[in-house]
Amino acid sequence: MTHVVAIVPAKDNVDSISATVTALLKTGAIGEVLVVDDGSVDGTGESATKAGARVVALASNIGKGGAVAAGVASSGAPDTYLLIDADLGGSAAHATELLQPLLEDEA
């Protein structure tokens, strides 16, 4: 089975991060959801943790590219990275459509 880590860079997304994390975890196709809290001041990291994500908290905002790089550096060595926006909410579950060819060894 392919080990997939979803990296979710997030800056002040407390209103959507819990639904995004929950949707990703419910797919069963993602081994870990790693939220990179990019200097949020609204409780994004805490909400992500409660939803089941592992959170890497950055001391200050370094931007999406820096947050993704921090996520990759913190993720270990998965077979596949999936980059997901924090504001997707429940629609994040559709990410499995992107993963399907990889999971079925067709990519």
**Rounded to whole angstroms, how far apart are CA atoms 102 and 99?**
5
Checking if the pLDDT of 1 tops 70, the result is no
Backbone angles phi, psi at 75, to 5 degrees: -90, -10
pTM: 0.94
Model pLDDT for residues 41-86, shown as the tens digit of each residue: 999 999 999 999 999 999 999 999 999 999 999 998 888 999 999 9
SS3 18: helix
